[in-house]
């Protein structure tokens, strides 16, 4: 049977003491042993303080603190035990602190008003840890700090934070294996910020913000790649910033891998109704993704699988769409779109490939590379332009320009370069290459319209150059074999 210590400052006692509400009431309880229960209720006044401690190996014990006055403070400590529960409720703003050491502990803090909450859980006394914490705050300017430390391989710690109001902040730190964190900042949470720092392995972090001027920062550190010897741990880091103008926008980041280095993702959104998705997989060298979106209705997707890949997307126009896929190692893709309605699709399979797309106005570009050491560049200024570059990609012109790279036939290409530059209005251009060491260039001058250019190269070491400086021209170049040279000027 639980030993109960009950401390209360009731309404009747307060009325008997004075006609005015009492202030600065304090209650302090120190309890040891198993199956203990501490109840503290402070229902009137302001500046009340409650301190409860269960030590001497507290097991299956519980602390409950309830405060209704303004400016209240509550401290709950449970030391060197297991399966303990701490619950703090404050209805008019205050500060709450929970410190628990041991396994299987649970802490819950519920606050209304401008409040601060701190939870410290240290595990690793043996067995399956499974510590949990939950903090719920309703009110402006509230803060949360959660620290969970594990010491055993079977540890499992979980942290859940819910905040409703303006200018909220949440800081979660988790050290050890199998940790999870959830932060939800909703309602009128203007100026909300969330920070998650996780080290160990098997991490999960979910941050949801429905607010203007909200910020997210996630740092994840994993184990090294060696089993029998120590190798410095990897670091997965994520930074997501959604500005006050980015109403209706969403961003998600997923990173996984082991080795000496890790992955990094940065997402910044200023325009409304924008979306960003970053997924990075692979062991070994670092992968990097950068998404900057300032236009409304912008969409960006980056998927990188391998090691050492680098992807950058910058979109300043409205209703832009960029999709980057890289599989292999040390590939680089850059997309810069500053016109409305522009779309770019880049897919690179292989190693050390590079693609760069720069567009203005309603342009469309599709780049697909399969092989090693290929380079592709598309530069379009004007409106209505389309371009398709394929190195190691075999397809009809229409397929290449649609950007559906999954339905295009793939073949090997190596060390080939392709450049398309369109500075006019309404031009179509495509370069398709298989083989190795080709060079192809298509240029359609500004002010022209109705031009169509297609270059197909197979074999080794072919060179093709197409220049169209007037309107309504068509040029088709097909090369096979080795060492061929073709030049077209119209």
In the chain, what are the domain boundaries?
1-92, 364-490
Q: How far apart are CA 316 and CA 272, in angstroms?
A: 12
Predicted confidence at residue 413, as pLDDT, reads: 78
Dihedral, CA of residue 313, residue 314, residue 320 and residue 325, to nearest 10: -10
Give the three-class secondary structure for 22.
coil
- 12's enclosing H/E stretch is helix 11-17
What are the structure tokens assigned to 430, written together?
Answer: 């495509």
**pLDDT score of 223:** 54
> What is the chain's pLDDT, residue by residue, as a tens digit (490 residues)?
444 455 544 332 332 333 334 467 888 888 877 888 999 999 888 999 999 999 877 889 999 999 999 999 999 999 888 899 999 999 999 999 999 988 889 999 999 999 999 999 988 655 567 889 999 999 899 999 999 987 665 667 899 999 988 888 999 998 877 778 888 887 665 778 888 888 776 677 777 776 666 677 776 766 533 333 333 445 677 777 776 677 777 777 777 776 556 688 888 888 888 888 888 887 767 889 999 999 899 999 999 988 899 999 999 989 999 999 999 999 999 999 988 888 998 988 889 999 999 998 778 898 888 889 999 999 988 777 888 888 876 554 445 445 454 445 556 778 999 999 988 777 889 898 888 999 999 998 878 888 889 898 999 999 999 999 888 889 999 999 999 999 999 8
DSSP code per residue over 218-287: EEEEE--S-SSS--PPEEEEEEEEE-TT-TT-EEEEEEE--SSS-EEEEEEE-STT-EEEEEEE-SSS-E
Give the Cα separation of 163 and 143 in Å (integer): 9
Structure tokens at 143: 């803060």
For the chain, the three-class secondary structure string (H helix, E strand, C coil) is CCEEEEEEECHHHHHHHCCCCCCCCEEEEEEEEECEEEEEEECCCECCEEEEEEEEEEECCEEEEEECCECEEEEEEEEEEECCEEEEEECCCEEEEEEEEEECCEEEEEEECCCEEEEEEECCCCCCCCEEEEEEEECCCCEEEEEEECCCCCCCEEEEEEEECCCCEEEEEEECCCEEEEEEEECCCCCCEEEEEEECCCEEEEEEECCCCEEEEEEEEECCCCCCCCCCCEEEEEEEEECCCCCCCEEEEEEECCCCCCEEEEEEECCCCCEEEEEEECCCCCEEEEEEECCCCCEEEEEEEEECCEEEEEECCCCCEEEEEEEEECCEEEEEECCCCCEEEEEEEEECCEEEEEECCCCEEEEEEEEECCEEEEEECCCCCEEEEEECEECCHHHHHHCCHHHCEECCEECCEEEEEECCCCCEEEEEECEECCEEEEEECCCCCCCEEEEEECCECCEEEEEECCCCCEEEEEECCECCEEEEEC
Task: For 237-270, give one letter per residue: b (16+ CB within 10 A) or e.
Answer: bbbbbbbeebeebbbebebebbbebbbbbbbbbb
> For position 191, what pLDDT does the model report?
75
Query: What is the reported pLDDT for 322?
Result: 94
Three-state SS for 14?
helix
Q: What is the pLDDT of residue 231?
A: 38
């Amino acid at each position: 049977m639980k030993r109960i210590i009950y401390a209360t400052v009731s309404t009747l006692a307060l009325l008997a003491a004075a006609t005015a509400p009492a202030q600065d009431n304090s209650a302090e309880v120190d309890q040891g042993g198993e199956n203990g229960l501490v109840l503290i209720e402070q229902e009137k006044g302001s500046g009340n303080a409650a301190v409860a401690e269960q030590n001497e190996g507290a097991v299956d014990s519980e602390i409950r603190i309830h405060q209704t006055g303004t400016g209240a403070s509550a401290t709950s400590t449970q030391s060197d035990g297991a399966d303990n529960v701490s619950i703090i409720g404050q209805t008019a703003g205050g500060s709450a602190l929970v410190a628990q050491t041991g396994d299987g502990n649970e802490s819950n803090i519920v606050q209304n008003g401008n409040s601060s909450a701190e939870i410290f859980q240290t595990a690793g006394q043996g067995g399956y840890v499974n510590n949990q914490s939950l903090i719920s705050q309703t009110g402006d300017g509230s803060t949360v700090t959660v620290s969970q430390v594990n010491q055993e391989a079977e540890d499992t710690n979980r942290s859940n934070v819910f905040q409703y109001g303006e200018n909220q902040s949440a800081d979660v730190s988790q050290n050890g294996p199998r940790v999870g964190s959830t932060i939800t900042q909703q309602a009128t949470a203007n100026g909300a910020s969330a920070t998650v720092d996780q080290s160990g392995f098997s991490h999960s972090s979910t941050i949801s913000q429905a607010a203007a001027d909200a910020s997210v920062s996630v740092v994840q550190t994993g184990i090294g790649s060696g089993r029998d010897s120590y190798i410095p741990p990897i670091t997965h880091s994520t930074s997501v910033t959604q500005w006050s103008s980015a109403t209706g926008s969403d961003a998600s980041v997923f990173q996984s891998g082991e080795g000496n280095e890790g992955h990094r993702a940065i997402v910044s959104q200023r325009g409304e109704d924008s979306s960003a998705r970053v997924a990075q997989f692979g062991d070994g060298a670092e992968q990097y993704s950068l998404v900057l979106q300032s236009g409304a209705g912008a969409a960006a997707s980056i998927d990188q699988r391998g090691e050492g890949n680098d992807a950058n997307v910058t979109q300043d126009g409205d209703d832009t769409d960029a999709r980057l896929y890289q599989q292999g190692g040390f590939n680089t893709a850059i997309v810069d779109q500053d016109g409305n309605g522009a779309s770019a699709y880049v897919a690179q399979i292989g190693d050390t490939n590079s693609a760069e797309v720069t567009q203005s106005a309603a342009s469309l570009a599709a780049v697909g590379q399969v092989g090693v050491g290929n380079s592709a560049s598309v530069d379009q200024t004007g409106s209505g332009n389309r371009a398709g570059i394929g190195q190691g990609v075999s397809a009809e012109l229409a397929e290449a320009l649609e950007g559906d790279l999954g339905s295009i036939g793939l073949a090997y290409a190596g060390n080939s370069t392709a450049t398309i530059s369109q500075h006019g209005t309404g031009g179509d251009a495509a370069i398709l290459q298989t083989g190795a060491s080709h060079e192809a260039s298509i240029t359609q001058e500004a002010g022209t319209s109705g031009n169509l250019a297609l270059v197909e190269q197979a074999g080794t070491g072919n060179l093709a150059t197409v220049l169209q400086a007037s309107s309504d021209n068509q040029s088709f170049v097909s090369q096979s074999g080795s060492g061929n040279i073709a030049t077209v000027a119209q």
